[in-house]
Amino acid sequence: MDAEDTFQNDATIEVFLISLKAGGVGLNLTATDYIYLVDKWWNPVVKQQAIEKHIDTKA
């Protein structure tokens, strides 16, 4: 089981930290309640896409 699956399926894990540079592989973390975008180098378009993807998983 990889880190993404572990986070998605183990309710005892409350935090998943990843950089966009490391995680730019289309992660779909549907188990998230909150996201914090802190990578300084993000451009506004990438940041907005990340936010919208998170919102779409909650709909």
* Domains in the chain: boundaries: 3-58
The answer to whether the Cα torsion of 3, 26, 58, 45 is positive or negative is positive
Q: Assign 35 a pLDDT band (cuts: 50, 70, 90).
A: confident
Q: Give CA–CA dist 28/18, Å, rounded.
A: 13
Residue with tokens 């998943």: 16
Predicted pLDDT at 1? 62
Average pLDDT over residues 36-52: 77
Note if the pTM is more than 0.85.
no
pLDDT at 54 over 90: no
Model confidence pLDDT, tens digit, residues 1-34? 688 888 889 989 888 887 766 656 667 777 778 8
